[in-house]
Chains A and B, each alone.
Chain A
């Protein structure tokens, strides 16, 4: 590589800066370990721990009727795998059980329930739910509704048998529901959290590494005053920056591939789309995030402040406003508008498309365009601020 032109020499200097930064990271590998252990730890947590499923919900029962019909309703509830009978009690004690955390729901059957059903009327029961956790409470209410409906259908069917209504009940004496909806959940038929979470997780991990680690490493150079020393060297200012950003670009990509790989191997996350497209989206996203990290470091020049600025502007938004966990459509208009400026939103959407749905650029080009625009604007602002800082 002799007789190289200015461009090749510049590339060489960037390379040298990158090698220096890699050396920094390697000399004290804890940063590297933390950055690479994090995705795996999080995936394990998401794969095993984070689930909205109803399980072992403690249920108290207050059966004031004590007829075969009320007992049938109670056993329909206790037989469901999601609920666990913890106490038989009066309805007035439900509040106390809720506050002690011993029950989350109480089924109250008042006297007269069985009599009303026998008369062909409506049997009424009440479900008291601890609303302090609304997510569980609404899932519980939906489950209880389905259980009561099934019990109602069973009562109908029993009435059909009792009336020997062979014809009306379809010949067998059993009232079969005349209508059935078959539901298929596409792309993730078993509704596993790990499958859902991988796209969102990747977005926020890369935001974390790309924005915060670069902001911290460059702010650290300002803090220690070594930035001036680097500028005094024959390496150009932008070459310093490019060299410092390069290893973190590599680290971010490594995280992306690690999350996808562990997801695919250990948690059966499907990989239906193109791997090249995945890397392309990852790269564009990372460039934007690195630009944001650079901008933060130039503005703050202090690692502690850079942390908070990065957390506020990149980490929290990519967790909350990206649509990975909370649906964007339902947020107040101001937050929806804000989320349009969060690149993680486009990344999460694109990764869902690529990994789970197998979609291609034909559908995802608006996401790529938005991320590219973000990267271009942020890099332009960051370099402009940077020029002014060092001039």
Chain B
């Protein structure tokens, strides 16, 4: 039995695409090595933990009570005494000049109030220009003084010969006990890098053929547009899957990301996800006329899709209309799938929704893009 004409056409296009892609070493570098480099750099850089924050200290009280509290607060490693201020205004000035990330002001009378059992107040000024440092500084100070307040209240009750009950909450973190950001962010980065590789490269590649007029030439041959597209996509699906394997290896070796769930679910999800991102690239190429435009179009898709994927910030904190919009974001579902399989050990039973959405999105965008592609050629 001889192969059908469609299969022959498909094989011819595929051979041409593979040859063309492999010819330029630099393209191979950017499809395989560049994402890996970015994954590793990104994984090491993405860390929200902060310590050693430079602190301006204005101890206007200079009592044993104020010294003791400041010493204990500065001892836990999050804050570091950097400059001493003579007044609250000077401490404030240190914030303006970037010499301190926060300022602690202990007003006169603090020690006396503390001893007399009156409410003793401390002022904490935080430089809010840098969000991550601001949050870390504020929570370190707040937590310390809340603890000190509770201890003080309990001590007073005990001194009066009364019961001093206390509540202790022991947190136990599942899947990622040391709360390492990289375990979570690295799989997410991989999902983002796959979009860069597949969406932008497809969009620009097709725009380039359009620019150079080679697309027209292929179209006068008997090759059907659908076959042409299928042949063009296949190498990128293979490269994308290869990138997934490479990234998984790097993740487990370098960052110690566990693989707790079934790899088959991950592979199926990756395949469906690649269909979505390639379809998106194809779609972008049909609405742009130059490589520059398809690049910008790709970026305009990638950035919102990454930011609204739940990979960097939680989807629950978004307003309802944006939360609804994330249902059309393949990145969200691939991110959830990766996190589920790798960290929580979830399988098909828990992740079928994600797979179904990826399938729907992939089929939808590929269909739409193919239809548009044929129209723009016709």
Contacts and interface: CB of A to CB of B under 8 A. Distances in A.
A132 B339 contact: yes
Given A131-B176, A141-B171, A188-B128, A182 B123 contact: yes
A363 B292 contact: no
Interface of A: 28, 30-31, 34-35, 37-38, 41-42, 45-46, 48-57, 73, 94-95, 98-101, 116-138, 141-142, 144-149, 151-153, 155-156, 159-160, 162-163, 165, 167-170, 175-189, 191, 193, 196, 199, 208, 212-213, 216-217, 220, 224, 300, 302-305, 307-309, 311-312, 316, 320-321, 323, 325-327, 329-332, 335, 349, 352-353, 356-359, 363
Contacts of B288: 30
A208 B299 contact: yes
B168 A125 contact: yes
Contact of B41 (A95, A122, A335): A335
Interface in B189-223: 196, 200-201, 204-205, 208, 211
Contacts of B42: 316, 320
A179 B120 contact: yes
B172 A126 contact: yes
A240 B159 CA distance: 84
B122 A131 contact: no
B166 A122 contact: yes
Interface string B301-326: 00110011000111011110010000
A312 B34 contact: yes
B317 A55 contact: yes
Contacts of A359: 96-98
Contacts of B126: 183-186
A332 B255 CA distance: 14
Contacts of A100: 346, 350
A134 B171 contact: no
Interface stretch (B141-149, B239-247, B268-276): B141-149
A187 B129 contact: yes
A35, A57, A149: residue with the most chain B Cβ atoms closer than 10 Å: A149
Contact of A182 (B124, B180, B345): B124
Contact of A193 (B131, B148, B150, B183): B131
B208 to A, nearest CB: 7
A120 B196 contact: no
Interface string B100-115: 0000000000000010
Interface in B125-171: 125-135, 138-139, 141-150, 152-154, 156-157, 159-160, 162-171
Contact of B125 (A54, A176, A184, A304): A184
20 contacts: A34-B293, A49-B318, A51-B317, A56-B317, A120-B165, A123-B166, A131-B179, A132-B183, A134-B183, A149-B146, A149-B150, A156-B166, A178-B114, A182-B123, A183-B126, A185-B128, A305-B26, A305-B27, A327-B130, A363-B96
Contacts of A53: 317
B89 interface: no
Given A135-B48, A303-B204, 20 more contacts: A38-B300, A55-B316, A127-B170, A131-B174, A134-B181, A135-B184, A137-B173, A144-B169, A156-B154, A168-B156, A177-B119, A178-B119, A179-B119, A179-B149, A183-B124, A304-B27, A353-B98, A356-B129, A358-B96, A363-B98
B175 interface: yes
B98, B127, B171: residue with the most chain A Cβ atoms closer than 10 Å: B171
Interface of B: 24, 26-27, 29-30, 34, 37-38, 41-42, 44-52, 69, 92, 95-98, 114, 117-135, 138-139, 141-150, 152-154, 156-157, 159-160, 162-177, 179-181, 183-184, 196, 200-201, 204-205, 208, 211, 288-293, 295-297, 299-300, 303-304, 307-308, 312-314, 316-319, 322, 336, 339-340, 343-346, 350
Contacts of B211: 224
A132 B49 contact: no
A228 to B, nearest CB: 17
Given A38-B300, A185-B134, A125 B169 contact: yes
A55 B126 CA distance: 24
B96, B289, B291, B295: residue with the most chain A Cβ atoms closer than 10 Å: B295
A156 B296 CA distance: 60
A136, A147, A162, A323: residue with the most chain B Cβ atoms closer than 10 Å: A136
The 4 A-B pairs of least Cβ separation, nearest first, read A120-B163, A168-B160, A131-B176, A308-B30
Contacts of A133: 184, 314, 339
B322 to A, nearest CB: 5
Nearest to B346: A99
A326 B168 contact: no
B176 A137 contact: yes
Nearest to A316: B38
A73 B169 CA distance: 10
A134 B143 CA distance: 19
Given A183-B124, A183-B126, A327-B130, A127 B171 contact: yes
Contact of A216 (B27, B141, B167, B295): B295
A54 B317 contact: yes
B184 A180 contact: no
A158 to B, nearest CB: 8
Contacts of A300: 26
Contact of A148 (B96, B129, B167, B339): B167
Contacts of B304: 41-42, 45
A176 to B, nearest CB: 7
Nearest to A180: B121
B281 to A, nearest CB: 12
Contacts of B26: 300, 302, 305
B161 to A, nearest CB: 8
Nearest to B176: A131
Contacts of A199: 129
A129 B304 CA distance: 29
Contact of B165 (A48, A117, A208): A117
Nearest to A208: B299
Nearest to B315: A49
A145 B147 CA distance: 10
A170 B120 CA distance: 14
Given A133-B184, A327-B48, A159 B97 contact: no
A182 B138 CA distance: 10
Contacts of A73: 167
A182 B163 contact: no
Contacts of B183: 132, 134
A356 B299 CA distance: 28
A49 B292 contact: no
Contact of B169 (A42, A127, A216): A127
A301 B265 CA distance: 41
Contacts of B96: 357-359, 363
